[in-house]
């Protein structure tokens, strides 16, 4: 069964195995999540489940979201996320999904919004080389030529130049589960996870 969860990135630390090797891990607090909607081929032309995370007061949500959740007697949830699944037979509306569905050693995919770096230059953003540093050079950190003159007389879209860096959705695949604490809904995965501490992340396990 495909397992999908929403959660929060707590931060990073390290643990030691039996041989004394330090393993960098990311601490994630996942769920519990509630299945809020099931989509099928007959009605929606594709198979998917929608899950909700983090209960809030009703005045924090739009009327459309409140009405959508009230149809299934679901409490007000701040975050809703949809996952495509091969079969919807294993799910039902109102079902609660927790970290108990995972096992140590499983590989999971984690998606999140990467840390925003703001407006950066072409060297930091695209790893371009700098210009010569000798006396008289006026091309230390300049972008150089960005295209021809009269023809075509414009800069093509997608040209690698200075601009906003980070703040994009990033997915890291096949991160290994190191430890699980079901009492506190805590999951430890090996390696780093996109985003800063406190970010909402989505988990997917095939």
Question: For the chain, which residues make up each domain, given as ranges?
Answer: 3-121+169-205, 122-143+152-165
- Residue range 131-135: mean pLDDT, rounded: 93
Burial class (CB in 10 A: 0-12, 13-18, 19+), 201: buried
pLDDT for residue 1 is more than 60: no
> pLDDT by residue (tens digit) across 9-33?
999 999 998 899 999 999 999 989 9
Burial 129-162 (b: 16+ CB within 10 A, else e): eeeeeeeeeeeeeebeeeeeeeeeeeeeeeeeee
- The architecture in CATH of the region 3-121+169-205 reads Beta Barrel (2.40)
Q: What is the pLDDT of residue 206?
A: 67
């Amino acid at each position: 069964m495909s397992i999908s969860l929403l959660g929060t990135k707590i931060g990073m630390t390290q643990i030691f195995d039996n041989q004394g090797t330090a393993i960098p891990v990311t601490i994630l607090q996942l769920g519990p999540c509630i299945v809020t909607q099931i989509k099928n081929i007959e009605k929606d032309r594709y198979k998917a489940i929608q899950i909700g995370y983090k209960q809030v007061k009703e005045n924090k949500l739009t009327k459309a979201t409140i009405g959508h959740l009230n149809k299934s007697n679901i409490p007000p949830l701040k975050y809703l996320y949809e996952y495509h699944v091969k079969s919807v037979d294993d799910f039902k509306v109102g079902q609660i999904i927790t970290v108990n569905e995972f096992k140590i050693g499983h590989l999971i995919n984690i998606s999140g919004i990467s840390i925003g770096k703001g407006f950066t230059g072409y060297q930091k953003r695209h790893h371009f080389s700098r210009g010569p540093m000798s006396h008289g050079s006026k091309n230390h950190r300049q972008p150089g030529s960005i295209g021809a003159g009269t023809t075509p007389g414009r800069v093509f879209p997608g040209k690698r130049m200075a601009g906003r860096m980070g703040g994009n959705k990033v997915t890291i695949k096949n991160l290994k589960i190191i430890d699980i604490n079901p009492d506190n809904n805590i999951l430890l995965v090996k390696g780093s996870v996109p985003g800063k501490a406190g970010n909402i992340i989505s988990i997917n396990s095939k």
